[in-house]
Structure 1
Amino acid sequence: MIAIIYFWESNQTIAYSSTDWGDQFITNVSLGDAQHDDRTSFGLYDKLVGKWEFKIPANVPVKAQDQLTFKVPRNLRLVSNAQFNLKDRHGQVIGRVDAQRGSGKITVRLARYVTQHDGGIYGNFKLGLLWDYDRVKPASTVAVSWPRLRTEKYKILPHRGPNSRETVYSWGWYDTKDPQLIHWRVRLNYAKQPLRQVTYTDLIGINQQLVPDSIRVKKVKFDRSGRKFKVLASRSPKRITQYSQLRFAVALGDLNGANLIDFETRATNSMARCFKHQAQLTGVNLNEKNTGKTPVKQASGTGSRLGEIRGVSLRDDDARQPLPLRLDTVLAGDDHQLVIKFGLVTLGLVACVSWFVYRRPR
């Protein structure tokens, strides 16, 4: 009896574990350029946009907090971390997308919306992508294996390398582990021209601040492709003057070869989609500028119940077909407790029956 009372009192509500549905609801993936136009050929350093579409068929027992999880193909990488809500045209949240640049993992965590619309759910979202430069080479064909879909082949165009007359050029990228940390690299005098009394000045753009003591300057020698380089020497930190969190300068003196300047900034506005800085090289008969940029953060999406996508009726026969369910779940802590409590009740009932049998007059 005690076991029965314990079970009743402690199980007024039962917690169910969430289900990871993996990638089984993904119906289409496409790769486009910065203008979102689908393409099958790209430059190695092009800014890419991936678009994923998913459909959850009618009557599939999904619930709030269930997840769709999958990874970016191994020869691509995310521009940055991203977290945003998928909403329908009425502003109701269907789920939340969480993309992690370091692992390449994308998670869509479903909201209560999915239990309120059992006729099926449609969603799509876009994320900024780059080629993985360690796995992808210029003038090649790359096979990209999308989740649950065909392997698509893309042509990587030849890369001519930097302009042979280049004096100053800069670019930036987001840190793999810390999405608010931005790495910058400035390439100086790739043309290997004799430059006299050279000073480099950097003006940090809005929504970021210079990370103290992050500036590094080195003499380098590039290979013929212009992609790889060998460090010849590091320049003294005494040549660096930091005027503020938004401006610094480097006294380079006379230059006859290429140099690299690396530094870091930290974002002060996590909502900013792109960061910039101005790189300026001055000297005798020299005044060159270049604006360095990070890739633009592409992160957006929308969704609806099936039959009402973007306000247009959608005929979706597949949504009514039964789907083999793949439940990647294990018993959560509450479920284990539930099993234990059922065991206690069973033991209690057995004890009660045994007591009555023992007390029965013979």
Structure 2
Amino acid sequence: MKKEILNGTRIPYELSVEELSKMLSSPIMKDFSLACEALSYKNDVTAYEAMKPFINDKDKYRRLYILKTIFHHPNAAELVDFLENAISSDDFLFVENGLIVIAEYKIKISDSVLLSVVTKHLPKLYTAIRSLTTLEICEENYTKLVALFTKAEQCSQKEFIGEVLAANYLPSKSKELFELFSCDKFAKIRLLAIKVAKKYGYNLSAFLSDMDGHVRNLAMKSLKSLSFLGSYIPKYRVDISDDLESAIIYNPNSEDHLYIEYDKADEFSPYMLSFSFQHVHLTDEESAKEWIDSILSEDVFSIEYFCGEDRRFGGQISAQELRNLSYDYLEQDTGYYGLTKLFQIVDHFKIRGWSRKNDFDGYFVEKDNTIQIDKIFKV
């Protein structure tokens, strides 16, 4: 983030490169720091060239400030040696700030150097550990990251290393990572194991007795599936996929079957159900059952509006609303009442139910200066 103030003084971004270059030569450290900040935002190679000589300055604090600012220039990506020397230093100030630069600007340095430095200083690293995102994806780095994960003692460190592993080595290492995360002492890491298991289908039963309530709850939610449908809908043929994540309830009366999808990865609305023109997203099994019941019992019908052959919009309509159907009601229900007239946007609508006994196409016609509905029943 671009700073406006440094130690109580406004950063002089408006000054020219020449003026800021003179400030770099000031014996006052504050002037030097202000110049570095301003020059780092000058999209001019001369600004970069003005800063570059100070990577070898005798004053370590000037070298440190150059380290923290010069890499904002794209040209600074060439300073790999400077960056590697900084993080390999015995001075932890240079180590930490160098790693932060690598993480922030995604500077590519030697993987072996980076891993060696992070391993050496791991107990003291926090945000700087994000430098690991720059590693190449390969078997050797996978092995070293797992070793680093095992060595880490802080939950935040393990969490971030685990996220790097999950981002770069799934699905090929899904089983190994699931087992690695599952036995961790930190609940946040076991939650990561559940997320891997949800996506790749590993057994979650052991987590149901976990000592942490968050882990137990997520495991319980993740174990939910569409298995309830087999016994819940005995009247109709039901096909459920082997992974219990998709199903069809077959309609003996038409080709309008009821489709159900269960997405374990969706923590908010995992159930997606569709019938005819309509689909809904629901949060839990009970809501799914209620919606299925409303379709099968024809308490609810699907309604879709058309202009010619083109679908415009739709939703659902209750049996009670259907019994008292009028054009004025449809205008109010769709939100067009008092605004644009509904019949000017669409010319007809279709009602579809499970039994087909009440299915009809409704056309808007003008009679006696009013808009009425002509119904053409399908059965």
Query: TM range, normalised to the smaller chain?
Result: under 0.3
Question: What TM-score do you get using the length of structure 1 for normalisation?
Answer: 0.19
Using CA pairs under 8 Å that are at least 6 residues apart, name the structure with larger relative contact order, 1 or 2. Answer: 1
Q: Which has the higher strand share?
A: 1
> Which is greater in Rg?
2
Question: What TM-score do you get using the length of structure 2 for normalisation?
Answer: 0.18
